[in-house]
Copies of this chain bind each other. A is one copy, B any other.
Amino acid sequence: MQALTDPRAVRSRKALHDAMLSLLDQKPFADITIRELVAEAGIGYNTFFRHHPSKDALLDEIAAEQISALLEIAVPILDAQDLHAASTALFSYIDEHRIMWTTLITGGAAGRIREEFIKLVRLTTAPRITTQEKVPIDCAMLLIVSGTIELIDWWLRSETPLPPEQVADIFDLVVASPIMTANGYGGLKRGA
């Protein structure tokens, strides 16, 4: 791999990220070709492969970046034992970057997002979870992640979107709380 500090490399990588997000806004991921990407980014065809082994790898990188930013917002608040504040912060953050998340999720990248989400959740939150009751921990994690993405997807697609607080309410009510209380996290403060 090349030096990630070289301004030329940084420029190329950023151009590719922007181009991918721009094209995702126009067509689904599967229909985007590498030639289109490099044309949109204004870089050479070969240069793409010098940075990413495949089209999927580029998307994975973008997805991981964004999910990481999302979790950096939500996890610390969740650690403070306030589920409702954490979920409200999460949906507010997405609302602030609505266009980016819409193109990313509805553009056919939901599957990748989900994979990266699970990977990061497993790294950041799994170690601090010890109890285990009715629902196996792996299962619980998968259900929460997929429920979260599904809810975000629906929210971003809806014509007259609910305010973030209200989506956070739904999230707490039917996604997070059922799983967390089933596994003995009933002590969390929950939103009304």
Residues of A within 8 A of B (CB): 111, 134-136, 138-140, 142-143, 146-147, 150-151, 153-155, 158, 169-170, 173-175, 177-179, 182
Contact = CB atoms under 8 A, between A and B. Distances in A.
B182 A154 contact: no
A79 B136 CA distance: 30
> What is the count of identical protomers in the complex?
2
Contacts of A150: 142-143, 146-147
A36 to B, nearest CB: 19
Contacts of A170: 134-135, 139
8 contacts: A134-B169, A134-B170, A134-B173, A135-B174, A138-B154, A139-B154, A173-B182, A174-B179
Nearest to A149: B146
A143 B151 contact: yes
Give 9 closest A-B pairs by Cβ, nearest first: A178-B178, A146-B150, A174-B178, A174-B179, A139-B154, A142-B154, A142-B150, A135-B170, A174-B182
Contacts of A158: 136, 138
A173 B174 CA distance: 11
A63 to B, nearest CB: 16
A173 B139 contact: no
B135 A143 contact: no
The residue in A139, A169, A179 that gathers the most chain B C-beta atoms within 10 A of its C-beta is A139
Nearest to A180: B174
